[in-house]
């Protein structure tokens, strides 16, 4: 992955910040397993707050959208599996991550 973009303007909130991260325009988890390895995945420089906030929204939207795809279609290969993993508390790397996954897997989450 390219090194961090450094100080500048966040593409989302347009604020000048000292530290920015790369945010994937199309979330990495949304690419099917059939995506060519050499496909360029567009990234934009964002502040951490926007990257985190958009990441949460993309995670939630990804779960909803993945329920409407055919998991057997090559065009969506692996996407449903990633969604199930995102909802599985045992796949969490930290306690906080495990709790967040458990919460997402409930109707009230
Ligand atoms: Zn921002």
Q: What is the pLDDT of residues 61-106, one digit of tens each?
A: 988 898 898 888 888 888 888 888 888 999 999 999 899 888 887 7
How many angstroms is it from 15 CA to the middle of ligand 1?
Answer: 6
Question: What is the Å distance from ligand 1's center to 102 Cα?
Answer: 28
Q: Is the dihedral of CA 61, 10, 28, 34 positive or negative?
A: positive
Of 29, 8, 31, the closest CA to residue 19 belongs to 8
Residue 2 lies in a domain: no
Q: Which residues are CB-contacts of 56 (< 8 A; sequence separation ≥ 6)?
A: none
pLDDT tens-digit profile of 7-65? 999 999 999 999 999 999 999 889 999 999 999 999 999 999 999 999 999 988 988 89
For the chain, how many structural domains are there in total?
Answer: 1
**Owning domain of residue 58:** 8-104
Instruction: Note whether residue 1 is domain-resident.
Output: no
Give 3-state DSSP helix, strand, coil % of the chain, rounded to 5: 45, 10, 45
* Cβ atoms 49, 31 nearer than 8 A: no
Span from the CA of 69 to the centroid of ligand 1 (angstroms): 31
In a domain, 32, yes or no: yes
| Residue 109 within any structural domain of the chain | no
Residue 16 domain flag: yes
Q: Report pTM.
A: 0.77
């Amino acid at each position: 992955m390219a090194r961090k973009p450094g100080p500048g303007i966040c593409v989302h909130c347009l604020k000048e910040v000292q530290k920015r991260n790369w945010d994937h325009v199309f979330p990495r988890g949304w690419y099917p397993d059939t995506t060519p390895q050499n496909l360029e995945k567009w990234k934009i420089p964002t502040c951490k707050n926007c990257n985190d906030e958009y990441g949460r929204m993309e995670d939630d939207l990804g779960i909803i959208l993945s329920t409407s795809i055919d998991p057997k279609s090559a065009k969506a290969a692996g996407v449903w599996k990633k969604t199930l993993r995102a909802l599985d508390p045992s796949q969490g790397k930290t306690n906080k991550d495990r709790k967040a996954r458990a919460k997402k897997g409930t109707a009230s989450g």
